[in-house]
Amino acid sequence: MRKLLRTIFLVDLIQGLWVTFRNQHPKNIYTEQYPAQRPRIAERFRGAPRLNINPETGETLCIACDLCALACPENLIVVSSERNKQTRRKELTTFTYDTSRCMFCGLCEDACPVDALELTQDFELASYTREGAIWDRQMLEEGPKPTWYRY
């Protein structure tokens, strides 16, 4: 009898609708208005790579040890260096990083002994060309320059 009444008065369906109704309140909005509203990115987020420079002297921190290139599963980092005749130290000449093949696993930044290579919070990596996804040393030091939207 009870079951019949529940069936006739659609109790099970109204119960579900009440849940939907409870969630109607405007404070329950979870949509982010990207790009107007920037998402909050975690500190440890693994995004665009950056080659850190010493902020005072402008010199690169990279010691051209090639450990990141060896750690990379996709072999997308190419480091080339030159031996300085006077100081007998290796100096970085070029550094290329192919972001189109990168899967942002973070193994390169784990391998870096001097914290020169770092995966940053930047995540807007789109490019109009395939070549644009291959970042050279200048791009890695300056960081990506995403388009600014006007709206």
Peptide bond into 35 cis (omega under 30): yes
Beta strand ranges found along 28-151 (DSSP E)? 49-51, 77-83, 90-98, 117-119, 134-135
Q: Is 8 one of the binding residues for another protein (CB under 8 A)?
A: no
Choice from 45, 81, 122, 143 touching another protein (CB under 8 A): 45
Q: Is 35 one of the binding residues for another protein (CB under 8 A)?
A: no
Best CA proximity match to 67, nearest among 135, 113, 118: 113
Q: Is 3 one of the binding residues for another protein (CB under 8 A)?
A: no
Best CA proximity match to 61, nearest among 108, 115, 136, 97: 115
Residue 8 or 85: the one with the smaller Cβ distance to another protein is 8
Q: Of residues 53-82, which lie at the interface with another protein (CB under 8 A)?
A: 71-73
In this chain, which stretch among 6-14, 57-65, 77-85, 136-144 interacts with another protein, using CB under 8 A? 6-14
Beta-strand relationship, 77-83 and 117-119: unpaired
In this chain, which stretch among 54-62, 106-114, 125-133, 141-149 interacts with another protein, using CB under 8 A? 106-114
Best CA proximity match to 49, nearest among 128, 111, 4: 111
Q: Of residues 122-151, which lie at the interface with another protein (CB under 8 A)?
A: none
Residue 47 or 91: the one with the smaller Cβ distance to another protein is 47
Q: Is 14 one of the binding residues for another protein (CB under 8 A)?
A: no
> Which residues, at least 6 apart from 23, have a Cβ–Cβ distance to it below 8 Å?
none
Residues near another protein (CB under 8 A) are: 7, 12-13, 15-16, 18-20, 23, 30, 41-46, 71-73, 103-107, 110, 119
